[in-house]
């Protein structure tokens, strides 16, 4: 019986890397970020609804003007809710369809959801896997990856649910404090113990 696993992490913990590794090992990946882009792609009902709520400026070259919409929702909580009310139901629909497709193929499904715990979606999956690093590792990687200062890196990390809190909630912890070799080994061990892969 295939499993549905919710995969999450924090900023710069390496969730995308883990997702890629699991895909290479035969898991069916359903990515929330991909679904979010699909929800407002050119010609979609989501994009039409965004235009109705945010006006003509919200569309640029037939696509959502992310910069313009972002500048509004960043400052206005009410408009942010309106955007979420458009996008979230469509994203859930897309992800549910994808999940069913994976299960029909008799594959274990990874629901790659950055805000899994924040949006209380743990009940929609069989178990939750957290890609974990310490806050210190997050800061180092964020600074390297995005050329940020300590303060900038810290403020991005602080805008999310604390990683230690997520650690308490997750069923499985994938430690990614070490090298890529260590991470690969951790995933191999996890899959051997849980899936005989």
14 is in an annotated binding site: yes
Torsion of CA 110, 115, 60, 52, to 10 degrees: 110
17 is in an annotated binding site: yes
105: closest CA among 30, 2, 5, 194? 2
179's enclosing H/E stretch is none
CA–CA separation, 64 and 60 (whole Å): 6
Report yes or no: 99 and 111 within 8 Å, Cβ to Cβ.
yes
15 is in an annotated binding site: yes
81 is in an annotated binding site: no
Report yes or no: 153 and 134 within 8 Å, Cβ to Cβ.
no
Q: How far apart are the first and last CA of the chain?
A: 14
109: closest CA among 117, 120, 101, 119? 101
Report yes or no: 6 and 124 within 8 Å, Cβ to Cβ.
yes
**Residues tagged in the binding site annotation for ATP:** 12-17
**Residues tagged in the binding site annotation:** 12-17
């Amino acid at each position: 019986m295939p499993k549905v696993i919710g995969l999450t992490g924090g900023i710069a913990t390496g969730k995308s890397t883990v997702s890629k590794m699991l895909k290479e090992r035969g898991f069916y990946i359903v990515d929330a970020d991909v679904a979010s882009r699909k929800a407002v792609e050119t010609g979609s009902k989501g994009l039409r609804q965004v235009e109705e709520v945010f006006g003509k400026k919200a569309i640029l070259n037939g696509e959502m003007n992310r910069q313009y919409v972002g500048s509004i929702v960043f400052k206005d909580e009410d408009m942010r809710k309106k955007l979420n009310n458009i996008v979230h139901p469509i994203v859930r629909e897309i992800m549910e369809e994808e999940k069913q497709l994976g299960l029909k193929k008799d594959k274990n499904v990874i629901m790659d959801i950055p805000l899994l715990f924040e949006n209380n979606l743990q009940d929609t999956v069989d178990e939750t896997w957290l890609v974990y690093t310490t806050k210190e590792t997050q800061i180092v990687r964020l600074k390297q990856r995005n050329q940020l200062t300590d303060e900038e890196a810290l403020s991005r990390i602080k805008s999310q649910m604390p990683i230690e809190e997520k650690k308490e909630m997750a069923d499985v912890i994938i430690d990614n404090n070490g090298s890529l070799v260590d991470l690969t080994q951790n995933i191999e061990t996890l899959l051997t113990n849980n899936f005989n892969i």
